[in-house]
Structure 1
Amino acid sequence: MKVTQEKLPASQIGLEIEITSEITTQKYEQVLRNLTKTVNIPGFRKGKVPRQILIQRIGTTRVKATALEEIIQEGIEQAIKQEAITALGQPQLRSSFDDLINSYEPGKPLTFAVAVDVIPEIKLNQYTGLEAKAEEIKYDPTQVDTVIEAQREKLGTLVPVEGRATEIGDMAVIDFKGVIAKTEGDDPDSEPKPIPGGEGTDFQVELQEDKFIPGFVLGIVGMNPGETKEVSAQFPDPYGNEELSGKAALFTITLKEIKVKELPELDDDFAQEVSDFETLEELRASLTQRYEKEAADKTRNNQQEALLTELLNHVEIDLPTTLIDQEVDAMLSQTAMKLSEQGIDVKKLFTQEIIPQLRDRSKPEAIERLKRTLSLQEIGKRESIEVAAAEVEARVTELLTEYADQDLDEKRLRGVVQEELLTTKIVDWLLERSSVELVAEGSLTPPEEPDSEAEAAEAVAEVVQEEETSNPE
Structure 2
Amino acid sequence: MEYKVEELSPVKRKVAVEVSVEEVHAALAATVALYRKGADIKGFRKGKVPSSVVEAKYRKQIYGEATTDLINYHINDILGELKLSPLSRIDVDAKEMERDENFSYSFSFEIAPSFDLPEYKGLAVEEEDVVVDPQQVEDVIERIRQNMAKTVIIKEERPAATGDIAVIDFQAFQDGAAMEGIAANKFELPLGEGNSLPEFEDIVIGMTPGETRENALTFPADFINDKLAGQTVSMQVTLHAIKARNLPEVDDDFADQAGGYSSVQDLKDAIEKSYVSTRKQLVKGDAQKKLLDGIKAEISFELPQSIVEEQIDKQIVELQGKLERQGKSLDSLGRTPAELREENRAQAEDVVKSSLVLLAIANAENLTVDPQEVDLVLQKMAASTGQDFHSIKDYYEQHNLMIPLKDRVLADKAMELIYENATVTTVPPAAAPNA
Q: Which runs of 5+ in 2 are unaligned?
A: 31-49, 53-62, 326-336
Q: Which residue matches 1:243?
A: 232
User: Does 1:144 find its partner at 2:144?
Assistant: no
Q: Give the letter aligned to residue 361 of structure 2.
A: I
Q: Which residue matches 1:380?
A: 362
- SS at 2:262 equivalent: coil
- SS at 1:278 equivalent: coil
Q: Which residue matches 1:464?
A: none
Q: 1:295 aligns with which of 272, 279, 282?
A: 279
CA contact (8 A) 1:209 1:218 kept: no
CA, structure 1 residues 115+170, in 2 after alignment: closer, same or farther (shift >3 Å)? closer
CA, structure 1 residues 331+393, in 2 after alignment: closer, same or farther (shift >3 Å)? closer
The CA deviation at 1:9 is 0.8
The CA deviation at 1:267 is 0.7
- SS at 1:121 equivalent: coil
Count of matched residue pairs:
360
Q: 2:417 aligns with which of 429, 434, 437?
A: 429
Following the alignment from structure 1 to structure 2, what is the Cα–Cα distance between the partners of residues 3 and 119? 18
CA contact (8 A) 2:14 2:106 kept: yes
CA contact (8 A) 2:3 2:17 kept: yes
CA contact (8 A) 1:2 1:18 kept: yes
Q: Please give the TM-score of this superposition, normalised by the length of structure 1.
A: 0.48
Deviations 1:38-86 (A, max 9, x none): xxxxxxxx999xxxxxxxxxxxxxxxx99xx89x969966983795443
Q: Which residue matches 2:390?
A: 408
Q: Please show how residues 52-451 of structure 1 align to structure 2 within 5 Å.
A: 80=78, 84-86=82-84, 88=86, 90=90, 114=106, 116-117=108-109, 119-124=111-116, 126=118, 128=120, 139-153=132-146, 154-156=148-150, 158=152, 213-214=201-202, 217-218=205-206, 238=220, 242-244=231-233, 261-320=245-304, 327=310, 331=314, 368-385=350-367, 392=373, 406-408=388-390, 422-431=410-419, 432-433=421-422, 440=430
CA contact (8 A) 1:134 1:303 kept: yes
CA, structure 1 residues 124+136, in 2 after alignment: closer, same or farther (shift >3 Å)? farther
Q: Give the letter aligned to residue 12 of structure 2.
A: Q
- SS at 1:123 equivalent: coil
Following the alignment from structure 1 to structure 2, what is the Cα–Cα distance between the partners of residues 12 and 232? 64
Q: Give the letter aligned to residue 119 of structure 1.
A: I
Moved more, 125-134 or 275-284: 125-134
Following the alignment from structure 1 to structure 2, what is the Cα–Cα distance between the partners of residues 269 and 303? 41
Q: Please show how residues 11-90 of structure 1 align to structure 2 within 5 Å.
A: 11-13=11-13, 80=78, 84-86=82-84, 88=86, 90=90
Following the alignment from structure 2 to structure 1, what is the Cα–Cα distance between the partners of residues 25 and 6? 32
CA contact (8 A) 2:125 2:425 kept: yes
Following the alignment from structure 1 to structure 2, what is the Cα–Cα distance between the partners of residues 231 and 118? 63
Q: Give the letter aligned to residue 78 of structure 2.
A: I
- SS at 2:415 equivalent: helix
The CA deviation at 1:427 is 1.0
CA, structure 1 residues 416+441, in 2 after alignment: closer, same or farther (shift >3 Å)? farther
Following the alignment from structure 2 to structure 1, what is the Cα–Cα distance between the partners of residues 203 and 185? 19
CA contact (8 A) 1:176 1:199 kept: yes
Deviations 1:17-46 (A, max 9, x none): 788xxx56x579989999xxxxxxxxxxx9
Following the alignment from structure 1 to structure 2, what is the Cα–Cα distance between the partners of residues 199 and 12? 56
- SS at 2:284 equivalent: helix
Q: Give the letter aligned to residue 9 of structure 1.
A: S
Following the alignment from structure 2 to structure 1, what is the Cα–Cα distance between the partners of residues 344 and 368? 31
The CA deviation at 1:268 is 0.4
- SS at 1:142 equivalent: helix
- SS at 1:7 equivalent: strand
Deviations 1:112-166 (A, max 9, x none): 795643633331453537788999987554343233223334334537676x977
Q: Give the letter aligned to residue 152 of structure 2.
A: L
CA contact (8 A) 1:13 1:118 kept: yes
The CA deviation at 1:400 is 12
Q: Please give the TM-score of this superposition, normalised by the length of structure 2.
A: 0.51
The CA deviation at 1:213 is 3.8
Following the alignment from structure 1 to structure 2, what is the Cα–Cα distance between the partners of residues 328 and 232? 48
User: Does 1:8 find its partner at 2:1?
Assistant: no
Q: Which residue matches 2:56?
A: none
- SS at 1:315 equivalent: coil
CA, structure 1 residues 216+118, in 2 after alignment: closer, same or farther (shift >3 Å)? closer
CA contact (8 A) 2:160 2:242 kept: no
Following the alignment from structure 1 to structure 2, what is the Cα–Cα distance between the partners of residues 121 and 399? 32
CA, structure 1 residues 278+16, in 2 after alignment: closer, same or farther (shift >3 Å)? closer
The CA deviation at 1:6 is 4.6
CA contact (8 A) 2:129 2:426 kept: no
Following the alignment from structure 1 to structure 2, what is the Cα–Cα distance between the partners of residues 261 and 371? 50
Following the alignment from structure 1 to structure 2, what is the Cα–Cα distance between the partners of residues 33 and 394? 43
Q: Give the letter aligned to residue 11 of structure 2.
A: S
Following the alignment from structure 1 to structure 2, what is the Cα–Cα distance between the partners of residues 261 and 376? 51
- SS at 1:158 equivalent: strand
Moved more, 430-439 or 8-17: 430-439
CA, structure 1 residues 362+150, in 2 after alignment: closer, same or farther (shift >3 Å)? closer
CA contact (8 A) 2:18 2:104 kept: yes
CA contact (8 A) 1:385 1:425 kept: yes
